């Protein structure tokens, strides 16, 4: 089953203590789409400018990502730049140039409107709502967000939370949204905003699901070396949604396993700059790491 993904399609300039890489393919939707396509067909909704390198369009196509919903407009592609400290959990945004995103209105091709699985990856909540308004009875809608939107677009975000099945936040965003001093208290409050499923990402410490069947503690794959964690959160939710869209059975039956597949897909993302590692991974490698995680967490 196809999954529809809307979010940012960007050029990322990334600096770590060891290296610097300008204008890599990035954006929440790009990371999520490449992760999801390990599991099934992906429809991408986004916008890029006329400066967007052709090789990146070819990369999407090589991964069989449907680009009917990708607008190419005159102007500059969204450009984001970030710098990591020695502790890779700490990142500073150096630059955000909106470019063509400033005036972007996502209009869905007719075929996209009946997609059953929808991932509203990180982008302004007003745009996430605009996409949701065009959907016809989707089966499972999940949204991701970031601190910026909690700061400047909270009313839109609260409107969105009422209308989605699941939300994915990192732990600091959960605290910012709820003011709760404990992650489990924060989860309870987030459910009250609307979503039936709440997923809290804790970076290299894994993630927590709260849903109708209670809690699930999902491990992160133990990586001895992290090269660049940019997009790990997007890869996690992209992999999770891709797995869910492909799996038979109910969401409740599959969501724990889906998170583990998301977690493993994100681990590959961290092993290279931007999408360089993820785009060279094969499905069998993902399956192997999932088996390893299974062994590591059984008791």
Binding-site ranges for ligand AMP (CB under 6 A): 8, 10, 12, 26-28, 31, 80, 96, 122-123, 148, 230-234
CA angle 16, 22, 28 (to 5 degrees): 80
Least distance between ligand AMP and beta carbon 269 (Å): 9
Least distance between ligand AMP and beta carbon 121 (Å): 8
CA dist., res. 251 & res. 190, Å (int):
19
Q: What is the DSSP letter of 281?
A: -
State phi, psi for 57 to the nearest 5 degrees.
-65, -40
In terms of CB distance, is 66 or 144 closer to ligand AMP?
144
Q: Which residues neighbour 277 within 8 Å (Cβ) at sequence distance 6 or greater?
A: 227, 268, 269, 270, 271
In terms of CB distance, is 89 or 297 closer to ligand AMP?
89
CB 142, CB 168: distance < 8 Å:
yes
Least distance between ligand AMP and beta carbon 284 (Å): 25
How many residues would you count in the chain?
Answer: 299
In terms of CB distance, is 24 or 247 closer to ligand AMP?
24
Kindly state the helix (H) or strand (E) to which residue 64 belongs, with its residue range.
none
In terms of CB distance, is 24 or 190 closer to ligand AMP?
24
In terms of CB distance, is 211 or 238 closer to ligand AMP?
238
Residue the block writes with tokens 């809690």: 215
In terms of CB distance, is 240 or 247 closer to ligand AMP?
240
Q: Which residues neighbour 224 within 8 Å (Cβ) at sequence distance 6 or greater?
A: none
108 sits in the region (left: phi over 0; alpha: psi -120 to 50; else beta) called: beta
Least distance between ligand AMP and beta carbon 276 (Å): 13
Least distance between ligand AMP and beta carbon 230 (Å): 5
In terms of CB distance, is 123 or 177 closer to ligand AMP?
123
For 207-227, letters b (16+ CB in 10 Å) and e give bbbbbeeeebebbbbeeeebb
In terms of CB distance, is 116 or 279 closer to ligand AMP?
279
Least distance between ligand AMP and beta carbon 248 (Å): 29
CA dist., res. 98 & res. 78, Å (int):
5
Least distance between ligand AMP and beta carbon 119 (Å): 13
Least distance between ligand AMP and beta carbon 103 (Å): 15
Task: Find, among 72, 12, 20, 83, the residue nearest to 234 by Cα.
Answer: 12
CB 293, CB 221: distance < 8 Å:
yes
């Amino acid at each position: 089953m196809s999954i529809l993904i809307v979010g940012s399609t960007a050029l990322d300039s990334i600096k770590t203590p060891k290296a610097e890489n300008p204008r890599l393919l990035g954006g929440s939707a790009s990371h999520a789409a490449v992760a999801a396509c390990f599991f099934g067909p992906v429809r991408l909704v986004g916008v890029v400018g006329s400066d967007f390198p052709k090789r990146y369009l070819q990369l999407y196509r090589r991964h069989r990502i449907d680009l009917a919903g990708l607008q190419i407009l005159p102007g500059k592609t969204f450009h984001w730049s970030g710098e990591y400290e020695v502790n890779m959990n700490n990142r500073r945004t150096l630059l955000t140039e909106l470019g063509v995103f400033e005036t972007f209105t996502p209009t869905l091709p007719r075929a996209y409107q009946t997609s059953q699985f929808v991932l509203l990856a990180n982008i302004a909540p007003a745009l996430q709502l605009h996409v949701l308004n065009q959907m016809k009875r989707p089966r499972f809608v999940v949204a991701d967000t970031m601190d910026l939107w909690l700061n400047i677009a909270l009313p839109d975000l609260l409107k969105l939370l009422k209308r989605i099945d699941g939300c994915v936040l990192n732990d600091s965003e959960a605290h910012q949204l709820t003011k709760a001093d404990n992650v489990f208290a924060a989860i309870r409050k987030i459910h009250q905003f609307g979503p039936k499923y709440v997923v809290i990402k804790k970076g290299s410490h894994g993630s927590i699901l709260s849903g109708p069947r209670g809690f699930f503690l999902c491990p992160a794959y133990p990586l001895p070396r992290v090269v660049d964690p940019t997009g790990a959160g997007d890869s996690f939710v992209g992999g999770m949604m891709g797995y869910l869209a492909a799996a038979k059975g109910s969401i409740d039956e599959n969501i724990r396993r889906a998170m583990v597949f998301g977690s493993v897909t994100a681990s590959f993302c961290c092993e290279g700059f931007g999408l360089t590692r993820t785009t060279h991974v094969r499905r069998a490698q993902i399956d192997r790491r999932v088996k390893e995680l299974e062994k590591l967490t059984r008791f």
